Amino acid sequence: MKDYWQLVLTNLKSNLSKSNYDAWFSQVQFSKTSNNGRKLVLEVPSVFNKQYLEKKFNADLKKAVLKYYPQVIHIDYQISEKGDSQKEIQDGIFPIQENSGNLKETLKKAETRNIDLNRNSFNRTTNIHNLNPKYTFENFVENNSNQLATNVAKAIIARPGTHYNPVFLYSSVGLGKTHLLQAIGHKIMENSPSLKIKYATSEMFFNHFIASIQNKNGNSFQEYYRSVDVLLIDDIQFISGKEATQEAFFHAFNELHQNNKQIVITSDKHPKSLAALEDRLISRFEWGIVIDISKPEFEDRLSVLKFKAKKLNLNLTESQLVKIASGVNSNFRDLEGVLNRIEARIKLIPDRAFEDFELNKILSGSSLGSTVSISVNYTPKSTGQILTLVGQVSNLSTEEILGTSRQADIAGGRQLAMYCCKEFLGLSLPAVGKVFKRDHTTIMHAVKKVNKAVEAGDTNLANKIAFIKQSLA
């Protein structure tokens, strides 16, 4: 009977992704059958592994088992004596005290968020720094609101680990914390290419910690975070309440700080305002320097606008820039959102000047600082207005949109027009079908296809929809 188990594994391996098979089935072993072959008992390395198999892969496992063990009606698990996850953490990763680890709750949260625990998470030969190439000092605008943070950044770039260690930057969203954090990494890497730099969000750190438990590679986890020369941690607030993860970070922090390795951390709040964060971590975050990046004043917003507009080759007038800087007083991310909408309008209709009335529509009708919302219903005068607007952004005539050509660009414009008629006019599928002389199932297919493309990140299509929506306001 045992020989059949290898066939079950082979079947699973062919039907699951490599990462899922390696993470969840490679250590599962046949133990025995009982109850006249109606119960199959498998040996798994941990309780976490058992719970994850039962919740996420129960159907896949049963299907594969029944193919080779048709008499089995129940699958049971026993935990390997070598695979105690709690002991693995205590002995192999960090000395977590019984009254502070709360490991079960941490693992439960990891399971419910469906984390992909890749065995190779700690391969130091792949993308150790993890920096976004866009977030450099060349794309960063220094101003009054971030001047102190920028000056401190320049000081630690000159001599990492010796000035201001750790550095703790905090502000509300959209004020450039992540950009500055990664710009520090890029500049240090440029000046001292031999130094090992690691950027990670607290979410990445959490995922890596859980992966080290599941995959029994605590030593690799330690090496991954303790051997870097510059550790850049973004959004540290998200480890609040995760006691075992805080324990892991505490020991990594101590090791790096003791060896004069540079640590830079960002958060949305001052350390003392972070709920459910251990006092000993708060104390360490305040060892170096804590800096608030304040909300930008009008002059700061105007300087950023001019810089960004130049980068995007947008020839906006001084009065238009002033109007934007005056109208958007929240953060830099919202300013960029307005510029992106303007850029979309100018690039989609390049032969027409960008007028002030269009800017007013963008400023009054946009959901600033958020992703494009394309589900709001509008009531334009007619379907003809939509056809005209779609024709403008797609460089098509109304006749082409309403015609029968299956050429890719024409078919795409036609589907966009169908989508806009359905969403912005609130027409039923049959009603839209009458406009285009198509069956309602064709309209349904077009709407689904446009939605799917936008959800998949088709920014060009999303910009077209945003422009049409604004024009209809």
Asked if 74 and 33 count as a contact pair (C-beta separation under 8 A), the reply is: no
Summary mean pLDDT of the chain: 80
pLDDT at res. 341:
86
384 CB-contact burial (10 Å; exposed 0-12 / middle 13-18 / buried 19+): exposed
* 421 against 470, higher pLDDT: 421
At residue 305, the 3 state secondary structure works out as: helix
Please check the confidence at residue 124 and state whether its pLDDT lies above 70.
no
DSSP 194-220: TS-EEEEEHHHHHHHHHHHHHHT-HHH
Please check the confidence at residue 402 and state whether its pLDDT lies above 70.
yes
Give rounded-to-5 percent helix, strand, coil for the chain. Answer: 55, 10, 35
pLDDT at res. 118:
40
Please check the confidence at residue 307 and state whether its pLDDT lies above 50.
yes
**Mean pLDDT of the region 89-108:** 39
Token duo for residue 46: 């941990």
pLDDT at res. 119:
36
Rounded distance, CA 340 to CA 361, Å? 14
- Kindly indicate the confidence band of residue 261, based on its pLDDT and cuts at 50, 70 and 90: very high
* 377 against 284, higher pLDDT: 284
pLDDT at res. 129:
65
Residue type, 110: A
What is the DSSP code (8-state) at residue 132?
Answer: -
- Kindly indicate the confidence band of residue 419, based on its pLDDT and cuts at 50, 70 and 90: very high
Min mean pLDDT across 17-21, 138-142, 205-209, 277-281 is at 17-21
pLDDT at res. 187:
92
Asked if 34 and 67 count as a contact pair (C-beta separation under 8 A), the reply is: no
Which segments of 259-331 does DSSP mark as H helices, in order? 279-285, 298-311, 318-327
Asked if 238 and 249 count as a contact pair (C-beta separation under 8 A), the reply is: no
Asked if 197 and 229 count as a contact pair (C-beta separation under 8 A), the reply is: yes
**Mean pLDDT of the region 216-239:** 84
**Mean pLDDT of the region 236-240:** 88
Length of the chain: 473
- Kindly indicate the confidence band of residue 412, based on its pLDDT and cuts at 50, 70 and 90: very high
pLDDT of 33-59, one tens digit each? 888 878 889 998 877 678 778 878 888
Residue of 406, 402, 389 lying closest to 465 (CA atoms)? 389
CB count in 10 Å sphere of residue 221: 23
pLDDT at res. 85:
40
pTM for this one? 0.54
For the ranges 78-82, 297-301, 392-396, 432-436, the one whose mean pLDDT is highest:
432-436
Strand partners of residue 39: 34, 74
Please check the confidence at residue 122 and state whether its pLDDT lies above 80.
no
Rounded distance, CA 157 to CA 178, Å? 16
pLDDT at res. 116:
42
Look-up of token digits 């770039």? 157
pLDDT at res. 87:
36
What is the DSSP code (8-state) at residue 313?
Answer: T
**Mean pLDDT of the region 162-182:** 90
